[in-house]
Amino acid sequence: MNMKLTSLLSERTESIRVNIAGVSFRASSHENRLYLLPETTKDLDLIDEKGGKEAFIENETFPFLESVTGIKWQWDQNNPGAGHIFEVDLDVVIQSLKGA
């Protein structure tokens, strides 16, 4: 597991469990980023069974996050660990503000 992500998650006082397509994640935030860390190796295996990390994020995580929050998200693909890191897609926010 990525030690940097683990230490960041341990710094947070509040985290919640989120179930996305049968995969259980611990969700927390830090510095305007959303962190989703699969809880067990079984959850990592389920992600692999559903096409791997990239396919799972595109097909399951983005639709889930966008339907629950109404916000477009961007995935930080440079994270080398098992956790998934997301940021709000501010380009979409700016476009929405132009129309307001």
Q: How does pLDDT run across 23-56, given as a tens digit for each residue?
A: 999 999 888 889 999 999 999 999 999 999 999 9
Please say whether the beta carbons of 46 and 14 come within 8 A. no
Domain count, the chain: 1
- Split at pLDDT 50, 70, 90, the class of 89 is confident
Rg (CA), the chain: 14
Query: In terms of Cα–Cα distance, which of 34, 26, 94, 32 is closest to 62?
Result: 34
Q: Is 22 helix (H, G, I), strand (E, B) or coil?
A: coil
Q: Is the pLDDT of residue 8 over 80?
A: no
Domain boundaries, position 89: 3-98
- Split at pLDDT 50, 70, 90, the class of 1 is very low
% of the chain exceeding 70 in pLDDT:
86
Q: How many CB atoms lie within 10 A of CB 63?
A: 12
Q: Give the pLDDT confidence score for residue 100 in this predicted structure.
A: 64
Give the list of residues 6+ apart from residue 65 with CB closer than 8 angstroms, or none.
34, 71, 73, 86
pTM of this prediction?
0.77
